[in-house]
Amino acid sequence: MRRLKLVLEYDGTDFAGFQLQARGERTVQGVLEAALARIPGARPKVTAAGRTDSGVHALAMPVHYDTEDTVPVERVPQALNALLPPDVRVLEAEEVPPDWHARYSARWRRYLYRVLNRRQPTALDRHRVWWVPQPFDFPAIAAAARTLVGEHDFGAFANREKRATVRRLYQAHVEAVGGELHLHFVGSGFVRGQVRAMVGTLVEVGLGRRPPEDVARLLENPERSEGGATAPPQGLYFVAAGYSPWEAGAA
């Protein structure tokens, strides 16, 4: 028996998220496990570093599974990609120690959120960005985002979360890229819905609907009803997970 780590890229548009669903909806885990089931010796039970919601994309999602197959590890991406639908791709594969865990061994996770800020909507990227036509106050968004860095109770940004809501955010960086606003977040872990709720709140700041200092108030009084609206899923990307301690400037 060996344990393999895969790195996945997927377009979340036509998936009901990563995780298997009770009603049998199409999920990334479901199609990947179906492909693995066609490889003799593979145990088609996949564990991922994170769980993306319906419509959310991934640029490099680590997962692991156990197998007794004899396919050389360097040929695993090609073998699986021949069995997978075109909106999921295995980018790389490697053998890892038997106690390595895609989720529990991760020390940090990185997300990107893309907001298209122009007067007209997009045809080509309608499943890839959140279109907001009104002009932004960029310095206000950047200042509010910096407030999020550190260890806080993120309950004001949690949706239907049953776990504790204290997390550590290592980075909350905002940049203008062409006609888009890119919001980068790196944290030890995220509560359910946290990134999209933080983005929704920061966009409200940028549109002048709440002052930048209001974000600090939300961290001190973490009531979800006080936070901003949840941003739509299509602008969110799982970028990477790291398995050593976070360092500023890490990929």
Region 83-88: mean pLDDT is: 98
Q: Which of 71, 96, 121 is the last residue of a domain?
A: 96
Region 157-161: mean pLDDT is: 84
* 113 marked among binding-site residues: no
172 and 149 Cβ atoms separated by less than 8 Å: yes
pLDDT of amino acid 249: 55
Residues 186, 90 share a domain: no
Domain that holds residue 128: 108-242
Residues 177, 61 share a domain: no
Residues 87, 124 share a domain: no
49 and 58 Cβ atoms separated by less than 8 Å: no
Report if residue 67 sits inside a domain.
Answer: yes
Report if residue 103 sits inside a domain.
Answer: no
The tokens describing 14, both together, are 């036509």
Q: Which of 96, 127, 154 is the last residue of a domain?
A: 96
Region 164-185: mean pLDDT is: 95
Q: Which of 70, 96, 122 is the last residue of a domain?
A: 96
pLDDT at 225 over 90: no
Q: How many domains does the chain have?
A: 2
113 and 231 Cβ atoms separated by less than 8 Å: yes
CATH number, domain with residue 219: 3.30.70.660
pLDDT of amino acid 37: 95
pLDDT of amino acid 251: 54
Residues 12, 89 share a domain: yes
Q: Which amino acid is at 84?
A: L
Residues 166, 207 share a domain: yes
Distance, in Å, from the CA atom of 235 to the CA atom of 31, rounded to the nearest integer, reads: 23
Report if residue 249 sits inside a domain.
Answer: no
Report if residue 234 sits inside a domain.
Answer: yes
Least confident of 104-113, 130-139, 158-167, 179-188: 158-167
Task: Calculate helix-pair angle for 138-147, 194-206, nearest 10 degrees.
Answer: 140
pLDDT in tens, 42-73: 888 999 999 899 999 999 999 999 999 999 99
pLDDT at 164 over 60: yes
Region 106-130: mean pLDDT is: 97
CATH number, domain with residue 61: 3.30.70.580
pLDDT of amino acid 66: 96
Q: What is the DSSP letter of 146?
A: H
Catalytic residues, by residue number, are: 53
Residues 153, 92 share a domain: no
Residues 139, 88 share a domain: no
Q: What is the DSSP letter of 249?
A: T
